[in-house]
Amino acid sequence: MEVWLFRLLVVAAAALFARQMLARYRLLARAPGGFDASDLGTRIATFLSEIVFQTRTIRARPVVGIAHLLVFWGFCAFAGYTTVEALRGLGIVDLTGTAAFHAYELALVPFAIGVLGGIVLLAIRRGILRPRALGAYVSKESLLISAFIAILMITFLVDAADAHAGRAMAGVPLERVNWWAHMLVILTFTVLIPDSKHLHLLLSPATVFLRAPILGTVPKLDFEKEQTGLETVGQLEKKQVLDAFTCVECGRCQENCPAFATGKVLNPKKLILQNEEALLAGKLELPLKDLYDDPALWQCTTCGACQNECPVGVEHLPLIVNARRGLVSNGEAPAQLVPVYNHLERRGNIWGLLSEQRQKFLASAGVEIFDPAKHEYVVWLGCAGAFEADFQKSLRALFDILRAKQVRFGVLAKEKCNGDVAKRTGNEYLFQELATSNVEELNAAGVKKVITSCPHCLKTLGHDYKEFGFEAEVQHSAVFVEELTRGVTPIPGVPSQGTVTYHDPCYLGRYAKTVDEPRALLARTGATVAEPERTKENPFCCGAGGGLLFEEHEAGRRISDARYEQLAATGADTVVMACPFCSIMLKGAQASADKASADRSSADDAGAGTPGATPRGPGATPMVMTDLMSYVADRLPGVRDRGPAS
């Protein structure tokens, strides 16, 4: 009788589980696109690191991560135990009396203790401490499942210790009560999983394995197949549907998002949960622009923080960029991007300036046009290098370093914008036009090695252009110059300008994982580096990416102002940057902070208002804002040998 009751419950639980999973499978099966499993070695290594050893979870939140690791390993270890007990309950075979099972049961004891401790910690954090990233409301379902996991471990430990020997409850041997409690919890847990965030236990191994190995991978559209991007819920691709069902709602994405941190509508976690809700509700024809909060899609800087911090492989960037593509294809780009697109179409640069200005700069800098017979490297100028006078100082410094080290380099005779702004804002047609033109120029010139000081150019030329047949080696100047100057000591007597703080550009630190080389260069000049609040592989964005360089009326607090405050809080005398757009944004933020400080001082002198202070304190010396190449060139022997340029 007991066996048949258990069989009935197992069948019922399996049926309910299958029904819920089948609904999700159908949505996944009907979704367009496919799964990319290329670069298998990298994917397997990532799977082992992030699933088996939970490194990404532990990296950001060590205590919580280790608690999660204990629970994960415990569940893996208990798979065999649950299977053996289920087989016994179904009357198929009883292996519980074997010596091997007893040894296995004994080995599970430390796992059970670890899982129990880990789940109690996680429950306290979720139910009592309640970090902001988890949301305003306590999830009763989450606490219930935490209680279930705790009960599973307690019932196992009771059984393993044989604590119920000779005891009974209402005439029923306590051993059977304990067994039924254990198995009923497992069956209930099985039924609850599909409609809860704990579905990630089953799906996250797949989403982590299928996540693109390179951050920010957004494959080009095939216009011959009439691809235009995402417009409706039903057009979400297979990986995006899988992501929607996998989200664990941990809030790491929103916690690291600079837009969310500065009071904007965009919340990357909410986007994924809105996808899930719409899919399960069958709203496949609903336009994404009506699903998402307006203007969330246009507030993303494409800094990659959300995707880079997600422990279950959710890819936010392809979703946002593809949704932007859908809007742009329908003529719904924001007003501030329209003139930028016009500039790119007519003049080939984001500011719409004449090519003669680029030629004047090259002539004044004495740079030759690339000739493969004479030169080994092309220095890619980018829009800022070709037209922005302030950043051209940085390129002059790079040229000085390369000449001092006898590097043979030149520049292209013709160079259009790499198309980063067009691609990240969803104007795919314009991006492909620019990319095709540039790749033709690069290949025709016989370019094999490229140096650039723009991390956005680095990403586009070094990664995106591979889809257009460009396979050259592309390096950021920080990496190239660091290798070039190893063993070099600073110029004696050149002042170090005190403490330095280095701002990691998102596209260099997070995307390219280039964090050590800039710091090695600074150390080589004798600088003392003070790290800001967000740094290295997880920097806080300057606010320029994703087309927001051109957003004049930014909602909430300006992202650049928030980052400048973090840099100023280090107390450093100098801020060193390695990206032209970071330079534009942060220098603008400094000007705003200085003006606000001056306004407060004027008000104080007039006896009005409350005394205020800039992040560096009243009367503090303004921080020097400079580029990495300029800072290095002035301090390494044989380059300028005259100290900092005036």
* Sequence-ordered strand ranges (E) for 404-558: 409-410, 449-452, 473-476, 499-502, 528-529
Asked if the structure places residue 129 within a domain, the reply is: yes
pTM, two decimals, is 0.93
Tokens standing for residue 366: 């004495």
Do 147 and 172 lie in one domain? The reply is: yes
Residue 609 has pLDDT above 50, yes or no: no
Asked if the structure places residue 595 within a domain, the reply is: yes
Do 237 and 354 lie in one domain? The reply is: no
Strand partners, 3: none
Residue type, 489: T
Asked if the structure places residue 402 within a domain, the reply is: yes
Closest CA to 235 of 319, 303, 344: 319
Do 116 and 189 lie in one domain? The reply is: yes
Average pLDDT, the chain: 92
Asked if the structure places residue 306 within a domain, the reply is: yes
Contacts of 496 (CB under 8 A, 6+ apart): 490, 525, 526, 527, 528, 635
Closest CA to 470 of 506, 434, 505: 434
Asked if the structure places residue 217 within a domain, the reply is: no
Do 454 and 525 lie in one domain? The reply is: no
Do 227 and 204 lie in one domain? The reply is: no
Do 156 and 15 lie in one domain? The reply is: yes
Which tens digits make up the pLDDT trace of 564-588? Answer: 999 999 999 999 999 999 999 999 9
Say which CATH number the domain at 135 has.
Answer: 1.20.950
Q: Kindly tell me the burial class for residue 162, based on how many C-beta atoms sit within 10 Å of its own C-beta (0-12, 13-18, 19 or more).
A: exposed
Do 380 and 305 lie in one domain? The reply is: no
- Name the domain boundary from 423, 451, 484: 484
Say which CATH number the domain at 463 has.
Answer: 3.40.50
Which tens digits make up the pLDDT trace of 380-422? Answer: 999 999 999 999 999 999 999 999 999 999 999 999 999 999 9
Asked if the structure places residue 489 within a domain, the reply is: no
Q: What confidence category does residue 61 fall into, taking pLDDT thresholds of 50, 70 and 90?
A: confident
Domains: count for the chain: 4
Say which CATH number the domain at 268 has.
Answer: 1.10.1060.10
Asked if the structure places residue 17 within a domain, the reply is: yes
Residue 78 · residue 107 · CB < 8 Å: no
Do 168 and 300 lie in one domain? The reply is: no
Tokens standing for residue 585: 């944004």
Q: Which domain holds residue 83?
A: 2-210
- Name the domain boundary from 178, 210, 242: 210
Q: What confidence category does residue 614 fall into, taking pLDDT thresholds of 50, 70 and 90?
A: very low
3-class state of residue 576 by DSSP: strand
Do 328 and 346 lie in one domain? The reply is: no
